[in-house]
Every structure is written in C-alpha cells, then in structure tokens.
Amino acid sequence: MASNAPVGKPTGMSAPRLPKVAGIDSTVPAPPHTAAPLPGVPPAAAPSDAALPPGVLIQDRLASWVSDLTTLHELTERLIKTSSLDGALREVLGAGAALVGARRGMAVLEPADGLGPAGTIGLGLAHADLGTIETVPRGSGGYGRLLDGLPEAGPTSTRPSSTRPARVPEPIAIRDVRTEEGLDPRHREVAARLGYAASYALPLATEEAGGLGAAVWLYDEPAEPDERRRHLIGLYGRFATEHLARLLQVERARVRVATVAEELLPSRLPRVPGVRLAVRHLTGSQGGGDWYDALPLPEGALGLAVGSVSGTGPSALAAMGRLRASLRAYAVMEGEDPVAVLSDLELLLRLTEPARSATALFAYAEPAQRRIVLAGAGHAPPLVVGDRRTEFVETSLSAPLGMLTCWEAPSVELSPAPGETVLLYTDGLLRRTGDATDRAFARLHAAAASVPGADRSDPGAVADHVLRTLLPEGLDPTVEGEDVVLLAVRFE
C-alpha cells in the first residue's frame, strides 16, 4: 500500500482540529466546570462549580455531549463511505489523528487469522519512513505489542476456540520515547531520526471481529491523549474495526472468485505466426460469467472467442467453464464455419441449461492471409484500430444464445491491414461506463482512436489505453456488475 507524502515538521506539536458543530470548537479543552462529555469519562471538578447556576452546568454538559457525538457521527459517516481496505485505513488514520491530537501515524492491516491481506500505510510518513519504523523490534513499539498480543478468551470459556471471541487489548501510550522504560535502543534511535517523541497505539480489534491490525499516531513532543480523547478514539476504533471486517470479507470473496475465474480461463495465450495477442480480464466482487479464448487450429489458423453467460456468482462461473470447453471442442471440429460453431453451442445451451442465456462471438482467423470470418450471437461488434481507420465491424443482428428455438445468423468476413488491431470485448466494458448504449459505443470508439502512435504496435498497450480511458478509476470490486474482457489481436 502506498503512503502519503511526508509533512514538514512544525515548530510545536500540531494537532488537527476536529469539526466545529453549532459554533462549538470540540478541540478546545473543556473548562474546569465542564462535566465529562461522554459516559465513562469522569468530570473534572473545580472550586467554582458551587458558585455557578445549575442551568449553566447543564447547558455546558449538553454542549459537550452534542459536540463530541456530532463529531463522531461526522467521522463515522465519512468512514462508512469508503469501499476499499486501503481507503478505509487512510480515513481511520486521518480521523484518529484529529481525535488524539497528532499529525502523523501509520496503520498496519494484519488479520490475526493469518489469511491476509496484509499491508501498511502511513499518514505524513514517506515509504522510507515506514520501512525505518518497521526495523524497530515489534516487542518495543506499541503497535507491535498489540499485533503480537491478541489472546483469545480465557480458559473458562466453553465455546470452541474457532468461534470464541478474541480479548481486545488496551491501547498503548508511550508519553516520552526518551524516558520510557523497557524500550529497545533501536526504538529511541528511530524516533530521534524521524523526529517524534511520543506515540499512541490503538488495536483495530473487537471481540467478534477479532484482531485485524493496529494504528499508531506519533507526536512531535512528549504527550499523550487525555481521558476524553481516549474515550472518543476508543468508540471510533470499535466502529472502524467492524467496518474494516466487512470490507475484509468482501475483498477475500473477490479474490476467491477472481482465482476461480482465472483457473477456468486460458493460463496463457498461444503464439501463432502473423499475430500478437493480449487480453485484459477484470472481475467484479460477485464474479460474472465473462470469458475469452484463443486456440491454435489446423493449418496455422487461430480461433478467437469472447462471451458471457447470464448471472453472477459460482453458478455463472461453472456455466461459463462448461460453455467455453464446449466451444473449444466445436471449434476444433468445424472452426472454419463460425455459424456452425455457434449453432452447436446454442443447441447445447438450450438442452443442458434452458433457464440461462449467453452471448458469444467466435472468429476464425487465418493470420497468413490476414483474413477473419466471424459470427456473433447477441454480442457487440469488434472494433478495428489502425493508423488509417478506427471503425466497428458491421455484423448481422442476432439474439443471444438460448433466446431462440433455433439460432443461425450469417457470418461476416474482414481483412485487417498490416499493423491493425482487432478488439474483441464483452458487454461489461460498455455497461461499466455507466452510460447509455449509444454513448458507451461512442466513448469506446473515441478511446480506441486516441491510442498514441507509439503504442499501436503493442496490443497490450492498446488494450491498456482503452481501459484507462473508459474506466479511469478501474473496476470498483465492491460494486456489483459485469466483468470486463478485452482481447486485442494485432496483425503483423
């Protein structure tokens, strides 16, 4: 995970300010007569309390409660909008810095179950700074002790160890690195080099979620958060851990689905004289049924296919695997006739999975003659990209497979010029743009036409440029939707 750029050291301890609510500045310390803003924090007494009217005390106490609760509400609202582990950890670091009164920090994601993912990000710390901190023995730093000390519930528990909630350790404050007892000399050396004098480490753990990691904030001068700030960051930390646990489950599910999908697709693209191939496959959180294939055929020919099956999840992945395997068999037997290949595929789908539909495009390519014969079933037309033209291939309209009692549509033939690239893609590329169909096609054409001349000789660079232009923020894995497949075929 990337880290933020370093921040110059201020002359004194700099504490980010919490948001103002209804004219109340929650970073200003409570006056002596103010009661604790939240339950569990004892009020500070003052000799002048008896001299103040009861109404003033009540108003002051309510103002503190409203200020603290509104601040927590605003920070948690910002956190809940994050949809990735990296984004959530960055938000936790920023919010925590404001709550504890620090300006730098780091968060370590290290799930206690050992199943990952793991990583470290920083706030106001360069990547080299994070590496320097990691050279401190884990037992000396506060966050290291938290990561290594997440014991399970006591021996009196009767629940199985696999379901028993973890005991949450207490935060660790080091008020002054120079005078704290028991610190490793390396810890003091690193603190002096990076210019911090104190730290406050918070476990990212709850009893139900277990230990997910830890966050630590660094002070420029000897300091530690007061009891009120500890209480606020504790409440925020518990909420943040539950949110991180949900994002962790989503990320793990996405990785599992992507792994299964990749195993069902070609492990590598074939090398056939006269063409160069490149493919980009992006998988959503639920796992769609988009697929591609490229297989050598007799007499130097090449079979190219892209398609998708309806639905998402494991059943769609299984159907995709069966459909792709069947198409390979039909392509070997009668690949020179794409219409026959798709007709056989239609019959198979209708007999074996009558409740499912699919789109497919199959192309029989002869690289030596720079000739392609293709047929499509409810699929988007290929796009030819070259120095002299960027245009969609005119194909016949056809319903998807499984939608008709008998599928058949005429094939089309095209002859790419030397140096031209043919793009085959699934509907997910168009739909993930969020635009209407006509607008999505126009954007795809414009993206392909804008490929720099230096990149047109590399089909992988062409595919990357198109994806960056259409999906500048990539494929959000947390948003349900179709997968994206883009197969680029460049003719020499």
Closest CA to 461 of 271, 280, 288: 280
**Is the residue at 100 inside a domain?**
yes
Confidence of residue 23 (pLDDT cuts 50, 70, 90): very low
The 3-state DSSP class for residue 111 equals coil
**Is the residue at 269 inside a domain?**
yes
Whether the Cβ atoms of residue 309 and residue 322 lie closer than 8 Å to each other: no
Whether the Cβ atoms of residue 18 and residue 27 lie closer than 8 Å to each other: yes
Segment of 14-18, 166-170, 351-355 carrying the highest mean pLDDT: 351-355
Residues 419 and 340 in one domain: yes
| pLDDT at residue 287, as a whole number | 66
What does the buried/exposed string (b/e) look like for 198-231 if buried means 16 or more CB atoms within 10 Å of the residue's CB?
bbbbbbbbbeebbbbbbbbbbbbeebbbeebbbb
Kindly provide the residue ranges of all beta strands, DSSP E only, lying in 70-145, ordered along the sequence: 104-109, 119-123
Q: Which residues have C-beta within 8 Å of that of residue 446, sequence separation ≥ 6?
A: 469
Confidence of residue 412 (pLDDT cuts 50, 70, 90): very high
Cβ atoms within 10 Å of 262's Cβ, excluding its own:
12
**Is the residue at 2 inside a domain?**
no
Q: Which is higher by pLDDT, 292 or 64?
A: 292
**Is the residue at 256 inside a domain?**
no
Which of 184, 218, 248 delimits the end of a domain?
248
Confidence of residue 398 (pLDDT cuts 50, 70, 90): confident
Cβ atoms within 10 Å of 269's Cβ, excluding its own:
18
Tokens describing residue 300? 């130097």
Tokens describing residue 292? 């591609």
Tokens describing residue 371? 């000739």
Among the residue ranges 143-147, 210-214, 305-309, 400-404, the one predicted with the least confidence is: 400-404
| pLDDT at residue 402, as a whole number | 81
Cα distances from 55 to residues 29, 52, 411, in angstroms, run: 21, 8, 86
Helices (H), 268-337: 314-334
Residues 278 and 243 in one domain: no
Which residue bears the tokens 């300010």?
A: 17
DSSP state for residue 152 in the 8-state scheme: B
| 211-240 average pLDDT score | 94
**Is the residue at 289 inside a domain?**
yes
pLDDT surpassing 50 at residue 3: no
Cα distances from 2 to residues 75, 248, 382, in angstroms, run: 23, 18, 37
CATH number at residue 185: 3.30.450.40
pLDDT tens across 177-201, in order? 999 988 999 999 999 999 999 999 9
Residues 328 and 477 in one domain: yes
Closest CA to 402 of 357, 361, 355, 340: 357
Cα distances from 398 to residues 76, 381, 406, in angstroms, run: 50, 11, 11
Residues 364 and 467 in one domain: yes
Q: Which residues pair with 201 in a beta bridge?
A: 172, 216
| pLDDT at residue 141, as a whole number | 85
Whether the Cβ atoms of residue 99 and residue 37 lie closer than 8 Å to each other: no
Residue 214 has φ and ψ, to the nearest 5°, of -155, 155
Residues 274 and 212 in one domain: no
The percent of residues in the chain predicted with pLDDT above 90, rounded, is: 56
Whether the upstream peptide bond of residue 117 has omega within 30° of 0, thus cis, is yes
Whether the Cβ atoms of residue 76 and residue 239 lie closer than 8 Å to each other: yes
Q: Which residues have C-beta within 8 Å of that of residue 435, sequence separation ≥ 6?
A: 443
**Is the residue at 144 inside a domain?**
yes
Residues 75 and 44 in one domain: yes
Residues 269 and 235 in one domain: no
Residues 439 and 399 in one domain: yes
What gap in Å lies between CA 413 and CA 88, rounded to an integer? 51
| pLDDT at residue 355, as a whole number | 83
β-strand 210-219 against 275-282: which pairing, if any?
Answer: unpaired
**Is the residue at 8 inside a domain?**
no
Residues 73 and 33 in one domain: yes
The 3-state DSSP class for residue 388 equals coil
Among the residue ranges 6-15, 107-116, 233-242, the one predicted with the least confidence is: 6-15
pLDDT surpassing 50 at residue 162: no
Residues 404 and 479 in one domain: yes
Which of 218, 248, 278 delimits the end of a domain?
248
Closest CA to 439 of 448, 430, 447: 430
What gap in Å lies between CA 296 and CA 241, rounded to an integer? 51
Residue 233 has φ and ψ, to the nearest 5°, of -70, -30
Number of domains, the chain = 2
Which of 248, 274, 304 delimits the end of a domain?
248
| 251-277 average pLDDT score | 86
What gap in Å lies between CA 457 and CA 119, rounded to an integer? 37
Residue type, 136: V
Tokens describing residue 238? 């518990």
Closest CA to 6 of 196, 224, 137, 134: 196
Confidence of residue 47 (pLDDT cuts 50, 70, 90): very low
Residues 84 and 212 in one domain: yes
Q: Which residues have C-beta within 8 Å of that of residue 438, sequence separation ≥ 6?
A: none
CATH number at residue 437: 3.60.40.10
**Is the residue at 258 inside a domain?**
no
pLDDT surpassing 70 at residue 292: yes
Closest CA to 421 of 366, 367, 491: 491
Cα distances from 449 to residues 52, 265, 434, 444, in angstroms, run: 76, 29, 21, 9
Q: How many CA atoms lie within 13 A of 71 on its CB side?
A: 28
First to last CA, the chain: 39
Residues 94 and 137 in one domain: yes
What gap in Å lies between CA 430 and CA 200, rounded to an integer? 48
For residue 325, the enclosing domain spans: 265-491
Model confidence, pTM: 0.64
Confidence of residue 396 (pLDDT cuts 50, 70, 90): confident
